[in-house]
Structure 1
Amino acid sequence: MNYVTDALLLILDPRSWPGPDGIGTRLVQHALYVAAGVVTATVAAVPLGLFVGHTGRGRNLVVAATGVARSLPTFGLLLFAVLLFGLHLAPVIAVLVLLAIPPILAGTYAGVEAVGRSAVDGARGSGYSESQIVRRVELPLAMPLIVGGVRSATLQAIATATIAGYVAQGTLGRYLIEGLARHEYATAVVGALLVAGLALVADAALTIVQSLATPHGGSRTGRRTAPVSPRGPGWAAPLPEGQDPR
């Protein structure tokens, strides 16, 4: 029997979408769980990545921590979180946040470290404070790698949210679990196809965002635009006493 064909027919059937167990509800649940995990991870990881990339402090510790976090077994981590927090939504979100932080953190500090020192030194010589250098120079230039980290985290979260079905929290994972348990393999294929489709859509959208965040003007020439002084284009740092301005 062609389970893929049966699954596609189920997806295209309008009667499969409404209701608490319909495709529409499960798809929205899956997307909301992913969004909650990735947004929370972004809020936590980006400031830390900017600090580490700008100052260089704690870099070795962060690199080691992200490596350990990436090696954690997803399902085992979920079971531990369920035992710790109970059988509800909190363990799912906690696992998604924990697994989404490493790629975002790595992308952020790597993006800041990749910024040319001439751009940073030029901004500092123009009178920028350290916080202004981070906000106006390093953050914009690091944005492509930051979005790349968010992109990687989102795809991982979409796959990981599937296991939320094991703790009866909805999502597209329920189709996989229930389909395999009842030997309704077309239903399981429905879940697999929808998860893959959601991942492809999210990846395409974030690829566009990453492209828009890339400073194309600077990358074509290989030069970085000199920063504008925060005190205006006509301001210049004062010369040492006794030095001829000519």
Structure 2
Amino acid sequence: MNLLLDAIAWLLAPERLTGAHPLPAALVVHLGYTFGAVALAALVGIPAGWAIGHTGRGREIAVGISGAARAIPSFGLILLLVLLMGVTQKPAAAITAFVLLAIPPLLAGAYAGLEAIDRRIIDAARAQGMSEWQILWRVEVPLGLPLLVAGLRSAVLQVVATVTLAAYVSLGGLGYDIIQGIALRRFDQVLGGAIAVAVLALVLDGVFALLQRAATPRHLRSAARPEGARGGRREVRSA
């Protein structure tokens, strides 16, 4: 308990705002790496996922990539790319590692969103004379948006946690205080930095949960509501 209180005191200390490595600046760096990597990954993962979901080809490859990505050690991947690209290319190596980790959940979310659509809807769109391009953009993409946002949510959470390791290669972010605290044996600083990362991850998760709910059509949201809850309300009104 004392360590937790010390960590909270460290987080709330004025030095976190005015020190050599202020917390707001570290937060900006952390978010910059996170959303920069996810944006680059989206340029690759989302179109590829839509192509797989629309055509039905390459699904096994996508599933294999998504499964293999879970076995890749993030720290090892960063160090490997730094060694391959050179120590002068640390930012590029780190961003490449983050992008590679973000592609699989985006790919899976994109193709799963299209695969989950009732095929009768697609057949009806074709029967009305819509082209394949129109079916993709007017039918499949809007209906598959909730699962795509879920994939985006997973990618952001994966990267925001992995960006903490960027401090190992001197790239800053919220992980800097954790790495420095370990070296100095300042465990209040280590825990304080971990709390900052955890709070950021929870906030981002909450934001993307709201976005996922907003992307879900209203009739699907009501359909997903438990029957007991709907029936319970009717019984209260009838009583």
Q: TM-score, normalised by structure 1?
A: 0.86
Counting only pairs closer than 5 Å after superposition, residues 1-246 of structure 1 correspond to structure 2 as 2-87=2-87, 88-218=90-220, 220=222
| Alpha-carbon distance, 1:3 to partner | 2.1
Q: Tell me if structure 2 keeps the 8 A contact 1:155–1:202.
A: yes
- Structure with the higher fraction of residues in helix conformation: 2
Q: Tell me if structure 2 keeps the 8 A contact 1:19–1:25.
A: no
Q: Which runs of 5+ in 1 are unaligned?
A: 223-246
Q: Tell me if structure 2 keeps the 8 A contact 1:111–1:145.
A: yes
The one-character-per-residue Cα deviations of 1:51-87 (angstroms, maximum 9, x if unpaired) are 0001011111221122112211111111111011223
How has the CA–CA distance of structure 1 residues 187 and 217 changed in structure 2, closer, same or farther, with 3 Å as cutoff? same
Q: Tell me if structure 2 keeps the 8 A contact 1:18–1:25.
A: no
The one-character-per-residue Cα deviations of 1:18-56 (angstroms, maximum 9, x if unpaired) are 355111111111111001111111121111000000101
Equivalent position amino acid for 2:92 in 1: A
Q: Tell me if structure 2 keeps the 8 A contact 1:18–1:24.
A: no
Other-structure match for 1:235 = none
Q: Superposition RMSD on alpha carbons, in Å?
A: 1.5
| Alpha-carbon distance, 1:10 to partner | 2.2
Percent identity over the alignment is 45
How has the CA–CA distance of structure 1 residues 30 and 216 changed in structure 2, closer, same or farther, with 3 Å as cutoff? same
Q: Which runs of 5+ in 2 are unaligned?
A: 225-239
Which of 149-158 and 83-92 deviates more?
A: 83-92
Other-structure match for 1:243 = none
Aligned pairs, how many? 222
Structure 1 CA distance for aligned equivalents of residues 186 and 197 of structure 2: 18
Q: Tell me if structure 2 keeps the 8 A contact 1:103–1:152.
A: yes
Structure 2 CA distance for aligned equivalents of residues 80 and 202 of structure 1: 28
SS at match of 1:17: helix
Structure 2 CA distance for aligned equivalents of residues 221 and 203 of structure 1: 24
Q: Which structure's CA Rg is the greater one?
A: 1
Structure 1 CA distance for aligned equivalents of residues 201 and 68 of structure 2: 25
Equivalent position amino acid for 1:85 in 2: M
